Amino acid sequence: MKIALKDVYELSQEDNFIDSSKFEKFKSRKRNLSGKKDLKELVNGDGDNYSFKTSDLEQLQGDGLIDELISIIKTGKEASVYLGKNNDQYRAVKIYTDIRVRSFRKDDIYRQGRFVGNQRIEKAIDQGSQFGLDAHQLIWVGEEFRQMKRMHSACIPVPEPIAISGLTIVMGFIGTDDGEAAPRISDLDMDVTEAKEAFRQSVKILRDIVSLGKIHGDYSAFNILWHEEKAIVIDFPQVIEIENNSSYKELLYRDVNSLCKSFRKYDIRSDAESIYKSLLRLT
C-alpha cells in the first residue's frame, strides 16, 4: 500500500493512534527530478480551481526522494513530522496540514515584505479566497524550505534541506542510527554544565541568523534539537528578512526573550536585554 497525502491526513486525525501496519514500504521508482509544483503552476495551471490533487508524497516518491514512511515523530495542528527512509537513509518528512485548519491572519507580521511578484496572487491572498489561501500556504511552506537552504549553506546548524513538493518537505533526520529522533532542548533536564553549553550554542545560532540578515521568529527551546551535544535549529516558515520587515526589532526581542525564558529553569544568568542590544547592533 502506498501512503498518499490524504491517508496521512486521515491517520493524523485518528487521535494520534497510529496503526504501524499502515506504514508499509512503498518502492521508489527512480527517475530524474521533474518540474515541481510551484507558484507558476498555480497561476498557469488549474487557476482558481487549483487544489492539491496529486499527492506530494507520490511526487517525491516518483522523484526517488523518499521510499517509505516508517512512523510519526510528531503530529501537530499545523504540520506533522514523519520518520521516512530513502536509500536506507533516514529522512524527516514534514507534511503541512490542510490550509483550512490554519489561521493566517496572525501571520501578517511575517508576510510583510515577502515578495510574491504577482498581483493576482497578492490580491487573492488579501481577499482570503480559496485560491489565495492555497497560494498563501504554498508560499508559507516554500519559504520554510528556502530559509532552511539559505541557513544550511551559511553553515548554520539546521537539518539538511533535501526536497520540497507542494506542502511536503523532506529534510535530513536528526537522531540516532536506530531512528530515534533527537529531543528538543525543551524536553530535557540537563545538568548545569550541559545547559550552559546548550545556551551558548543557541545564542550563537541566533547571532548567526541575525548576521545573515534574518530573524527566526519562533526561536525557543521548542525549536532547537539537542543531538550529540550540538544544538540544531528547526522550523522556519515564519523567518523574516530584516531589510524587508519593519517589525524586525519586535520579533528579535521576542526571540531573545523566549530563548532566555527556556533556560531560566537552569539558573543560567542571562541578560536578555544585553543579548538583544548586542544582536541589534548586527542589524
The contact set with ligand ATP (CB under 6 A) reads 73-74, 76, 78-79, 81, 92, 94, 159, 171-175, 181-182, 184, 222-223, 234-235
Q: How far is the CB of 233 from ligand ATP (least distance, A)?
A: 10
Q: Which is nearer to ligand ATP, 171 or 279 (by Cβ)? A: 171
- Alpha-carbon gap, residue 74 to 16, rounded angstroms: 9
Cβ atoms of 252 and 210 closer than 8 Å: yes
Q: Distance (Å, rounded) from C-alpha 264 to C-alpha 152?
A: 29
Q: How far is CA 134 from the centre of its chain?
A: 18
Q: Indicate the residue among 132 and 142 with the shorter CB distance to Mg ion.
A: 142
User: What sign has the CA pseudo-torsion 189, 193, 196, 197?
Assistant: negative
CB-based contacts of 178, cutoff 8 Å, min separation 6: none
- Judged by CB under 5 A, the stretch of 95-103, 105-113, 116-124, 223-231 that binds Mg ion is 223-231
Which residue number, 121 or 163, has a Cβ lying nearer to ligand ATP?
163
Q: Which is nearer to ligand ATP, 42 or 174 (CB)?
A: 174
Cell of 45: 495551471
Q: Cβ closer to Mg ion: 28 or 223?
A: 223
Task: Return d(Cα 98, Cα 5) in angstroms, integer.
Answer: 10
121 vs 198, beta carbon nearer Mg ion: 198
Nearest distance from C-beta of residue 120 to ligand ATP, angstroms: 29
Residue 33 has phi, psi (to 5 degrees) of -60, 130
Stretch that binds Mg ion, among 54-62, 202-210, 231-239, 272-280 (CB under 5 A): 231-239
Residue 181: contacted member of ligand ATP, Mg ion, none (CB under 5 to 8 Å, by partner type): ligand ATP
Q: Among residues 220, 225, 229, which one has the least CA distance to residue 194? A: 229
Q: Does 235 bind Mg ion (CB under 5 A)?
A: yes
224 is in the binding site of which of ligand ATP, Mg ion, none (Cβ under 5 to 8 A by kind)?
A: none
Contact between 223 and Mg ion by CB under 5 A: the answer reads: yes
Smallest gap from Cβ 23 to ligand ATP, in A, equals 17
CB of 223 to ligand ATP, least distance (A): 5
Contact region for Mg ion (CB under 5 A) — 45-53, 130-138, 202-210, 234-242?
234-242
Tell me the CB-side half-sphere exposure of residue 219, using CA atoms within 13 A: 31
> CB of residue 28 vs ligand ATP: minimum separation in angstroms?
20
**Cell 482558481 belongs to which residue?**
48
Is 92:227 a contact under the CB 8 Å cutoff? no
- Helix then strand then coil, in percent of the chain rounded to 5, is 45, 15, 40
Please calculate the CA angle 9-218-71 and round it to the nearest 5 degrees.
30
- Residues that bind Mg ion in the complex, under the rule CB under 5 A: 223, 235
